Structure 1
């Protein structure tokens, strides 16, 4: 049984929220280490992209984002 559309939307929303949390943590840690705001933003953006890609790839590999075949 494949998850419905609402479950897939919630999974993407959860992945986005967790990615934002990881990005904020990475930004704050980077800023605390050297005090450069542009570098902290770059680290946060990179962390967001990596975590979002990992989350969506994992959900897709587990079949959680597959389209419902109607069976």
Structure 2
């Protein structure tokens, strides 16, 4: 009895895997509202360098304060 159940269970999993579509749950382009008509990539092109610049400035200030002879 248990072997028969395992066979049906494996068959059901195989059928689900064959019909699996990961893009099925994503919204269509028409469903996503446009706020400023500027692509997200362009926003990231400004955000990432600014963030890296801020991190480097912070790291440099920490480094300079560590080697400063005015302690």
TM-score range, shorter chain: 0.3 to 0.5
Which structure's CA Rg is the greater one?
A: 2
Higher helix share: 1
> TM-score when scaled to structure 2?
0.41
Higher relative contact order (CA 8 A, sep 6+): 1
> TM-score when scaled to structure 1?
0.41
